[in-house]
Structure 1
Amino acid sequence: MSKLNQTPVDGDLAHALDTRIPPTVFLLTGCVAVIGCNSLVLSPIAPEVSRSLGASVQGVMIASAAFGLGTAGSALFLARHIDRLGAWRMLRMAFAVLAFALGVSAVAPLLAVLVAAQLVAGLAAGIALPAIYTNAATVAPAGRETETVGIVLTGWTLSLVAGVSLSAVLADMLHWRAVFALVCLLAVGAFLVLAFNGRRDTLSEEPAMAPLAALRTPGLVPLLLACGAFMGSFYGVYAYVGDHLANALGRPVSANGLLTLVYGLGFGAAVLLDRPVQNLGVRNLLPFAFAFVAAVYLAILWGADSFETLLAVAFVWGLANHLGLNMLIVRLTGIAPTRRGAIMGLNSATTYIAAFAGTLAFGPVYAGFGLGATAAVAALLMLFAAIAAAR
């Protein structure tokens, strides 16, 4: 039927099809979940890994640090090729490498092999995450960008709720190697779906940018500063919540798992707010979202002596962080569409550098003054992030 003869009903149907969330978005969500699982599962199974490989728990966690280092490095130096080579192609390549690295992690005979495998997994993740966010922005229906990115971000909820919970169970029932084997199988499955999903890339004609050249993009630096403050404050507080629950409040280790679960549920529940947020306008609301996160940290400061209060605040914390992260990614991907890969690479590099710096810098504050003081510093950082985002 030609457009001239198209009936109003046909037009409404075509519009509905154009604006619905494509199934590919849920594939991207699964990809985020696989990466999130690998980045989160080592901590709860570290004691089992240490006994099996004859190393200390601190030594085992070097593998987690190697993953973060690899992610930051490749996001900074390799993700810039996404625009020239194509986000879908780079995502397929990254997941092939990720699956290989996870397989090696599952059979690692020595700690050094596990650390090296996780470094390679980080190199793959540093390409995959910017590619995922770039593809999410590309396939999002017009007017539903925030909602689309919000769905993709629920992959982190899946990894928090399912990955962290199931990893300890699998390690107890079978072996810690079964955890990495399962995540490897998930990565292989994601790679196969990516290989046959038929998506083609629209390549940029511009040459790959130098690693830091994208910083010249107008409006980018303030958003990256906001990202650094946002992520540094989160990891700086989150890293010490478990110790606070155990040593200051006398709670068992399971209490930390429950708090993480509640945080993940809040992060996932925020997807219900993404459509209203889209209608109100991301650019106008991002500073307010960061101010909301600052208020959550003040609530942690106020309720640090009560586990029940912290549990309730954890849900709101997850919800607020989802909204802030969602709006930040939508803003970043909208600055310069032909440079999305490079920009999202800088975003991922900033995230993992801030995670490392936040955990390190907040340590003396926590050791000297407790969780409340770390929450107060985090609130100040979030006010800085709100001001930077407003610019």
Structure 2
Amino acid sequence: MFTRNVLLLTGSIAVIGANSLVLSPIASSVARSFEGVDAADVMTAAASYGLATAVSALTLASTVDRIGAERALVRALLVFVVALASAALSPSLLMLCLSQGLAGLAAGTALPAIYVLTAQVAEKGRESETLGFVLTGWTLSLVAGVSLSAVLADILHWRAVFSVLAVGASGLALGVGRSKNWGTAARGTRPTSPLTALRVPGITAALLNVAAYMTAFYGLYTYLGPHLGGTLRLPTAFAGLATFAYGMGFGLAAALGRLIDRYGTLMAATAAFASLALAYLGLAATAGFPVALLALCVVWGLANHVGLNLLVRRLTELDPLQRGAIMGLYSAITYLCVFAGALLYRPIFEHFGFAACALVSAACIAPALGWALGIQRFRADPGRS
């Protein structure tokens, strides 16, 4: 059984992730509340959130190392509550964008704090299992957040969506603040920052893998819906089903964390990244076959979860004294890849189609697979330099 603290961390990721996803399905409803605004204009608020998250992760996440991850998470969640309440009360699109920018500043600190606390509270020998469970918060935000937000907006109002998230974040902030036994944080004598974190041995290769990995995912995921609805002329519900299939695969993979702890991260990394590359190749091959594509979305989610688990665990183990700064770099790269993936894949999708995008994603996984194989060879022959 996972502890109350692990459940709080999972819930925190779910609320933060939900806010990052809910604007898309309710954009039309939001637009109707503001004069002279359409759904595309509303998504400017989502862009504000992503950009602010990346900036915060680079500039504020190192406070996790200075004041402690649990205190940083409580403060970030409280700011998050204010931002969500402000979003719910926004009288204009400008105010909504500013509110989402504030939410992004909070998320850029909260997410690194969550990953640091996960490393602190995980039992010895159950690190990947614990991290895998916490990562299912993204599944909750994807499956429940996206689906329920649209329903809530239709039944009540889009402002109710942000109100519910604000209440949830308030409860989580209270729970984290009152909870004990957050583990022992490693403390250094020197201040940390993104610059000091970049000097940690091994971090450059790890972050490059993260960049390629996230670009592969966000680039392809961005154009999954346009491919299904635009190219294949399938109903919107099918695109939602594909998202659900990916989310279910991602969530089911949490059970594999125990196997990673049992058999080791090297074997798991090689298998996970190879499986993910094959999943992308499979998505390219089945781009014109909706049912097969749907099945592969489940496999995509499974492999992506395991790979993400391994990358995050690797980063948290590089330097315990700078976990906050390191995970800040991770979060910044992740949110920058949301923009980079959409931007870089657009001409590929427009000129060559979804299958070509999937092939590019498969190529992006090659560095991570090469890293796993390289580490495995090094462990087999530690005398090599």
Q: Give the match for residue 15 of structure 1.
A: none
Whole-Å separation in 1 of the counterparts to 2:250 and 2:122? 21
Residue aligning to 1:129: 111
The alignment status of 1:332 with 2:324, answered yes or no, reads no
Correspondence 1:31 to 2:12: yes
Q: Which residue of 2 aligns with 1:104?
A: 86
After TM superposition, the structure 1 = structure 2 runs for residues 275-354 of structure 1, keeping only pairs within 5 Å, are: 275-354=258-337
Mapping of 1:13-32 within 5 angstroms?
Answer: 21-32=2-13
Give distance in 1, aligned partners of 2:149 and 2:330.
28
Which residue of the partner structure matches residue 66 of structure 1?
Answer: 48
Does 2:203 correspond to 1:225?
A: no
Taking the TM superposition and a 5 Å limit, the aligned residue runs for 1:141-160 are: 141-160=123-142
CA distance in 1, matches of 2:272, 2:66: 33
Structure 2: unaligned runs, 5 residues or longer? 375-385
Does the alignment pair 1:265 with 2:277?
A: no
Cα deviation, residue 285, structure 1: 2.9
Q: Structure 1 counterpart of 2:43, which letter? A: M
User: Deviation per CA, 1:101-159, whole angstroms, max 9, x where unpaired?
Assistant: 00000110000000000011011001000000000000100000000000100101111
Cα root mean square deviation, aligned: 1.3
Q: Distance in 2 between matches of 1:34 and 1:215?
A: 29
Over residues 343-382 of structure 1, what are the superposed CA-to-partner deviations in whole Å (9 max), with x where a residue is unaligned?
Answer: 1111111111112111110011001111000001111011
Whole-angstrom distance in 1 between the partners of 2:344 and 2:205 = 22
The equivalent residue for 2:23 is 42
In structure 2, what is the equivalent of residue 187 of structure 1? 169
Q: CA deviation at 1:284?
A: 4.2
Corresponding residue for residue 10 of structure 1? none
TM-score, with structure 1 as normaliser: 0.93
Equivalent residue number for residue 248 of structure 1: 231
| Alpha-carbon distance in structure 2 between the residues aligned to 1:49 and 1:21 | 38
Shift of 1:256: 1.1
Match of 1:365 among 344, 348, 352: 348
Q: Distance in 1 between matches of 2:99 and 2:175?
A: 23
- Of stretches 270-279 and 39-48 in structure 1, the one that deviates more from structure 2 is 270-279
Instruction: Give the Cα–Cα distance (whole angstroms) in 2 for the partners of residues 163 and 77 of structure 1.
Output: 28
Contact kept, 8 Å, 1:245 with 1:256, in 2: the verdict is: yes
The one-letter code matched in structure 2 to 1:103 is A
Partner of 1:9 in structure 2? none
| Aligned partners of 1:94 and 1:125 also within 8 Å | yes
Letter of the 1:161 partner, please give it. Answer: V
Instruction: Specify the code of the residue in structure 2 equivalent to 1:128.
Output: A
Tell me how many residue pairs correspond in the alignment: 372
Q: What are the Cα deviations for residues 310-332 of structure 1, in whole angstroms up to 9, with x where unaligned? A: 11011111111100001111111
Amino acid of the residue matched to residue 179 of structure 1? V
Task: State whether structure 2 residue 365 is matched by structure 1 residue 382.
Answer: yes
| Contact kept in structure 2, 1:88 and 1:199, CA below 8 Å | no
Change in Cα spacing, 1:355 to 1:389, as seen in structure 2 (3 Å) is farther
- 3-state SS, counterpart of residue 52 of structure 1: coil
Cα distance, 1:203 vs structure 2: 5.9
| Structure-2 separation of matches of 1:99 and 1:331 | 31
Q: Distance in 2 between matches of 1:257 and 1:197?
A: 37
Structure 1 moving runs of 4+ over 4 Å: none
User: For residue 198 of structure 1, what is the aligned residue in structure 2?
Assistant: 180
Instruction: Give the match for residue 8 of structure 1.
Output: none
| Cα drift, residue 198 of structure 1 | 3.0
104-113 or 190-199: which moved more? 190-199
In structure 2, what is the Cα distance between the partners aligned to 1:108 and 1:38? 15
| Alpha-carbon distance in 2 for matches of 1:367, 1:48 | 28
Percent of aligned pairs with the same residue? Answer: 49
